[in-house]
Chain A
Amino acid sequence: MTTDYYKKHWDEVEWQDGDYTVTRTTAWSAPGCHDGCGVLYYTKDGKLEKVEGDPKNPFNRGSLCMRCVMMPEVVNNPERLKKPLKRVGERGENKWEEISIDEALDIIEEKVRAIWRDYGPESIAVHIGTGRDNNDVIPRMAYCAFGTPNFSMGYLAGDSCFCPRSASMASTNGDFMIADMSQQFENRYDEKSTEWRCPEVIVNWGCNAVVSNSDNFFGHWIVDCMQRGAKMITIDPGLTWLAARSDYWLRVRPGTDCALAMAMIHVIAEEGLEDKDFVSKWCYGFDELVERCEPWTPERAAEVCWVDADKIREAARMYANANNAAIQWGLKVDQTTNATATANAINALWTITGNVDVPGGNIIIRNAFSQNLSYGYGWHSLSPEVQAKRLGSEFPLMSRAGYSSSAHADSVLKAIETSEPYPIRMVWMSATNPIANMGADAPRLYRALKTVDFVVVHDVSLTPTAVAFADLVIPAAMSPERNSQRCWWVPHRTMKKVCDSGECYSDTNIATLVGRRLKPENWPWEDEVGWINNILSTESDEKIPYRNFEDACKQVWAYPEFQYRKYEKGLLRFDGQPGFNTPTGRIELFNTNMMLWGYDPLPEHKEPSCSPVSNPELAEKYPLVLTTGARSFEFFHSEQRHAHLTSRELHPQPKVEMSVKAAADRGIKEGDWVWIENQRGRCRQIATISLALDDRVVRAEHGWWFPEAEAAEPNLFGVFNSNINNLTPQCENGDTGFGAPYANQLCEIYKCTEENSQDLPSTHVTRKDGYSKEMDETNGDVKVGVVYNG
């Protein structure tokens, strides 16, 4: 069947289609996502009418997930903010006055200069959410406009989204590594024109890749590879679609992935399945690793992980025996206090099997055209004295060793609560909604943020976070309203503005406006295009094929050259020698960087603090293991929640998944509203019954708030009513500072009744100062068993 329409316009980036103007570009934020797919925007009379996948773009090859397809609904959502707002009532009353951007900038400038004078720039904290077109821009605003070292994600405990894995990879390999699905080649799956070969085996570990699309990895690439013969192993407590299509589904107990990985290493070493040539030439510490994993027989791991020992053995063999195999890992590796060790153990698996930087393995990847734009963008504009004040300096791997490029989110929270080591007087939040989404112990966060003198929220609509805390709200531009460029692995991409929705500001735009007010010497450009031109002309290497935004938009994307086995070719180290960019020049299975900073250089399993094993007394009261945050196709975190959107039509209410037996034992049926409760607090979601879940494990959703409900307190969009983060802790991290137990808690579940639903969590938190009040001085967390009495 002919699709000659797209071929006809193949060499164009903009054309007319009847009344529509069609623009070829890429999309990113909002909707948020970790990917940056190629899109065709259809606009008419300055309004976005339709979006479809760009068949020419090699990243998504014409396809598009529902969140970009439904983008016109969200862009044209009447609930969007169109003018800057200034709070006129009390915080939480939802009373606002529209003001001009100049008035907003006046207020910001006055507050910032007063804080500089009275406290110092470090008393300003700046946050973003995750995976949006501000990963580099907003950090630069923190460092180069406010002069503060305190940029972090919005109270994401333990920085537990990719940061633990990236620190592990940086310290072990000297580089980041990703599963190779040919994404680095413009010709993609064409094996004739590239060296790429389809992985024989793909391991999907701790993320439902086709839903989450995490870490700039388009999850359906796995499906492409399955269609080209790849076999699957899935490691997940839940039966995902990929798990059902896998030769081995290892139904791991939440928080025990490190033990599982160590058992797989044990099997590989015991049976001599390692890549002996690669290990002898390119690894440091193989014998020490094997010795450390020696006690971790599959039988021992079976007891810890609740996975059949033979399945562990067989999966390890299948992975190790494959000619080439790729591991696509995800967030659940990070969301345990044992994140660093878990990531090191999984990194060791692809290393000892020789799946390093080979076709269809795990490849070493850097940002296209040497753009060094990330959380550290602009950091070097700060003096060493100011840099040293970054919160989280008590964790040397993060601070002194430089393996973190943000402040430690839990430490920012503690500074707000205690004014130690100094007070936080101002918080700026761009596209982050922490009390609805990423902030663990949301009630604790609510109390803390209420005490901050000055809060600015930059978002597309009013959120619970904006209503509860903001003194100023700046409307954010959505993806088709942004001129931008994207730096995240490959390819390099541009985003072109095609429409406007009132007075909305992209991150690039607002950062420039704020920067030119406060430190004009750091902001020599006048607008977002000026900034992008500066990046393309002075902050990219000479191989980038365009040097200004206008030219970049004609090309939309550009792929840098890619080579496999860079370690053999002297392409990784600064001295140009073969080897990896580590102290030993090898991949450090025995991690000398970790050792230098006083940490265990080898992986080891640690039991989650709240588990049936570590805390049987607590488990008597709360017998179910709780994991949280599994992704849905319909939402990116707390986005797309407005009731009239197609996302809510498909997914109207929050869901908690439990086994047939777990539900029956509690008299719970499919579709019942249930309370999920533990020693910290409770929330309500709708029970959904699974035939595939372990009877001892439940999975609850995150990110829920109800824009259709009353915005003002005490209801606050119902944000605490279904918030699973009423049950998760802040300030419980691994010894590296990385990792937090979002995905391994305990809970009990019972049916909602009229009688037990009188005291709703939102009222309980906003009016009765409820949940997580009594702090344990020894660890800064809530005292176990004393809090919930609602």
Chain B
Amino acid sequence: MANALLIDYEYCTGCHACEVSCKKEKNLARGQWGIKILTDGPRELPDDKWEFNNIPMPTSLCDLCAERLESGKDPSCVHNCPANCMQFGTVEEMSKEVAKKGNRVIFVPVV
């Protein structure tokens, strides 16, 4: 069973902790990222509210921290996320989890 990354984009503050955690874990060079935050907004909605969402998106360099998993650690992005908006598990586990509330998405970077 492949592993998946669940993002609750209602709560991603765009703080860059995941991006930098990955960069340090993988020792990536300048300009390289294993996960990157995509931002939509801020943009005004008709009801005086604002659309403003961040989604950290795994890149082709993401292997969901295979080495860390082997030693019983979680992926470094999930580990350090200050908003606690990232979860990690098997696709099956995350598929159940994703349906528990709205504004969630799961990524399966590798199968």
Residues of A within 8 A of B (CB): 1-6, 8, 17, 50-53, 55, 60-66, 69-70, 72, 210-211, 218, 220, 223-224, 226-227, 239, 241, 243-245, 249, 633-634, 644, 646, 649-650, 690-692
Inter-chain contacts of A60 with B (CB < 8 A): 82
Query: Is there an interface contact between B93 and A1, defined as CB atoms closer than 8 Å?
Result: yes
Q: Does residue B30 face the partner (Cβ distance < 8 Å to A)?
A: yes
Query: Is there an interface contact between B19 and A66, defined as CB atoms closer than 8 Å?
Result: yes
Tell me how many residue pairs across A and B have CB atoms closer than 8 Å. 118
Inter-chain contacts of A66 with B (CB < 8 A): 15-17, 19-21
Size of the chain B interface, CB-CB below 8 angstroms: 42
Pick the 7 closest A-B CB pairs, nearest first: A5-B72, A244-B52, A220-B82, A244-B50, A66-B20, A63-B82, A1-B89
Inter-chain contacts of A2 with B (CB < 8 A): 72
20 contacts between A and B (CB under 8 A): A5-B72, A50-B24, A52-B21, A52-B76, A52-B79, A63-B80, A63-B84, A64-B17, A65-B15, A66-B15, A66-B16, A69-B17, A69-B80, A72-B24, A220-B82, A223-B11, A226-B11, A239-B52, A244-B50, A649-B31
Smallest CB–CB gap between B77 and chain A, Å?
10
Query: Is there an interface contact between A53 and B80, defined as CB atoms closer than 8 Å?
Result: yes
Inter-chain contacts of A223 with B (CB < 8 A): 11, 13, 82-85
Query: Is there an interface contact between A64 and B80, defined as CB atoms closer than 8 Å?
Result: yes
Inter-chain contacts of A633 with B (CB < 8 A): 14-16
Query: Is there an interface contact between B84 and A244, defined as CB atoms closer than 8 Å?
Result: no
Instruction: Knowing A62-B79, A220-B83, A223-B83 are in contact, say whether A646-B20 is a contact too (CB < 8 A).
Output: yes
* C-alpha gap A4/B72 in the complex (Å): 5
Smallest CB–CB gap between A510 and chain B, Å?
30
Smallest CB–CB gap between B65 and chain A, Å?
11
**B36-75 vs A, Cβ < 8 Å mask (1 yes, 0 no):** 0000011110000111101000000000000001011110
Inter-chain contacts of A650 with B (CB < 8 A): 16, 19
Inter-chain contacts of A69 with B (CB < 8 A): 17, 20-21, 24, 80
Inter-chain contacts of B15 with A (CB < 8 A): 65-66, 210-211, 220, 633
* C-alpha gap A649/B30 in the complex (Å): 7
Residues of chain B from 62 to 111 with CB closer than 8 A to chain A in the complex: 69, 71-74, 76, 79-85, 88-90, 93
* C-alpha gap A375/B71 in the complex (Å): 45
Query: Is there an interface contact between A52 and B90, defined as CB atoms closer than 8 Å?
Result: no
Query: Is there an interface contact between B13 and A224, defined as CB atoms closer than 8 Å?
Result: no
* C-alpha gap A224/B79 in the complex (Å): 15
Instruction: Knowing A72-B24, A691-B42 are in contact, say whether A65-B17 is a contact too (CB < 8 A).
Output: yes
A224 in complex: contacting residue of B30, B84, B88, CB < 8 Å: B84
Query: Is there an interface contact between B44 and A692, defined as CB atoms closer than 8 Å?
Result: yes
Interface class of chain A by DSSP: mixed
* C-alpha gap A34/B107 in the complex (Å): 35
Smallest CB–CB gap between B103 and chain A, Å?
11
Inter-chain contacts of B17 with A (CB < 8 A): 63-66, 69
* C-alpha gap A65/B89 in the complex (Å): 23
| Closest Cβ neighbor of B83 among chain A residues | A223
* C-alpha gap A62/B71 in the complex (Å): 17
Inter-chain contacts of A224 with B (CB < 8 A): 84
* C-alpha gap A407/B107 in the complex (Å): 55
Inter-chain contacts of A6 with B (CB < 8 A): 72-73
| Closest Cβ neighbor of A18 among chain B residues | B71
* C-alpha gap A218/B50 in the complex (Å): 25
* C-alpha gap A650/B30 in the complex (Å): 10
Inter-chain contacts of B11 with A (CB < 8 A): 223, 226-227
A-B contacts besides A1-B3, A63-B80, A64-B21, 10 pairs, CB < 8 Å:
A61-B84, A62-B79, A63-B84, A210-B83, A223-B85, A245-B10, A249-B50, A650-B19, A691-B44, A692-B42
Inter-chain contacts of A690 with B (CB < 8 A): 42
Inter-chain contacts of B44 with A (CB < 8 A): 691-692
Inter-chain contacts of B23 with A (CB < 8 A): 646
* C-alpha gap A1/B73 in the complex (Å): 9
* C-alpha gap A52/B17 in the complex (Å): 10
Query: Is there an interface contact between A65 and B42, defined as CB atoms closer than 8 Å?
Result: no
* C-alpha gap A243/B80 in the complex (Å): 24
Inter-chain contacts of B85 with A (CB < 8 A): 223
| Closest Cβ neighbor of B51 among chain A residues | A244
Instruction: Knowing A4-B72, A646-B23 are in contact, say whether A52-B42 is a contact too (CB < 8 A).
Output: no
A239 in complex: contacting residue of B13, B50, B76, B82, CB < 8 Å: B50
Inter-chain contacts of B42 with A (CB < 8 A): 239, 244, 690-692
Residue of B51, B76, B82 ringed by the most chain A CB atoms within 10 A: B82
Query: Is there an interface contact between A692 and B73, defined as CB atoms closer than 8 Å?
Result: no
Query: Is there an interface contact between B73 and A5, defined as CB atoms closer than 8 Å?
Result: yes
Query: Is there an interface contact between A5 and B71, defined as CB atoms closer than 8 Å?
Result: yes
